[in-house]
Structure 1
């Protein structure tokens, strides 16, 4: 499949799923969530949606479970707007890049404080 087509589909899925989350899925377990990236396989059969979750650890886990539970509904809604023969199966995965960057920033701040003390 064309790399350009895959990238366009990834961006389209990202926008559509973000809109679905903003309009609100009717599951109260879904908290504040941001779609950070979408990866679609070259054959357009599978899509992994990376989400950034906010809240306590329990709220994050509940949100991820609720999103995984709603994957079928989201796939059905995507099927209504996508003009593809096969709609990709959807899996949700936690994007930890924000947590990692915050950890690196805190380490750099500690190093800076230690240098200022010496």
Structure 2
């Protein structure tokens, strides 16, 4: 169970990270959808999940590299917006849960089609 302060921090980061990304010049990452933030070790580390379903594996690697390079500018934006003393270190990860849920929905559709054709 996460503390209320940690949940509040994650929620605030969910708002501020896309805002920081939108200020960057690179079109590959400035409109990247952020799907979740999971803070670890208090506010020292945060895993930031993004929706990379529109990209292949090579493009995902490039995007993660670009995000890693932009980490300092993202932190600067967040510190300026919040007045915090310290900003978490961000680790960007492709969120595959959306793909998994879509795959499960596709399986259910196949089951429905099979049942309806058997009747």
- On the 8 A contact 1:47/1:88 being kept in 2, the answer is yes
2:24 alignment partner in structure 1: 25
2:115 alignment partner in structure 1: 115
Normalised by the size of structure 2, how large is the TM-score? 0.83
1:14 alignment partner in structure 2: 14
Structure 1: runs of 5 or more not aligned:
none
How many equivalent residue pairs?
A: 116
- On the 8 A contact 2:24/2:30 being kept in 1, the answer is no
* 1:91 matched to 2:95: no
Q: Distance in 1 between matches of 2:19 and 2:68?
A: 17
Two-structure CA RMSD over aligned residues (Å): 2.0
Normalised by the size of structure 1, how large is the TM-score? 0.83
Q: Distance in 2 between matches of 1:32 and 1:83?
A: 25
* 1:68 matched to 2:96: no
